[in-house]
Structure 1
């Protein structure tokens, strides 16, 4: 019994070692990818500003109602277009709605 446990533990360690090798940058799977800690990574900062014609999407509370001890809130999504100064020029509904339903704890305080 002790010998069988030793063999199982040995194969488990062997399997973990093999998986760690496969996930390392030096394995045969990753041989096509260059890996060097001596060379710096070259990146360019992103300086592009969003286009003025690109809408921003926000959700606004449309209605709230109480029903069977719950508060149900309905939110509608809108596309908002802004000018250069950040003022809202156009606001269009997208037709997307989200509904939140949560328990009304305020009625428990009244009792």
Structure 2
């Protein structure tokens, strides 16, 4: 009986400690988001009904589009952003949506 009471006395502070730690980490992680990540409080522009009708049933193609090119320490660095591109049956672009995914290509000329 005495050993069981000692275990319970060790488990209770452990559970309280984990709960406090997880709530602290959750609170801190929400405040340290980079500015490019939209927060829950920011209003997000909704697609218009016409845009939704045009692209409904169309799966987007992912494309990498050159966004920036610069010289860094003797290397050329190209920055590509991934876009979701919606096309109709004729191949015309209906909508192009930038994503948060970036790719970097570094090379010497």
TM-score range, shorter chain: 0.3 to 0.5
**Structure number, greater radius of gyration:** 1
Q: Give TM-score scaled by structure 1 length.
A: 0.45
Higher helix share: 2
Q: Give TM-score scaled by structure 2 length.
A: 0.46
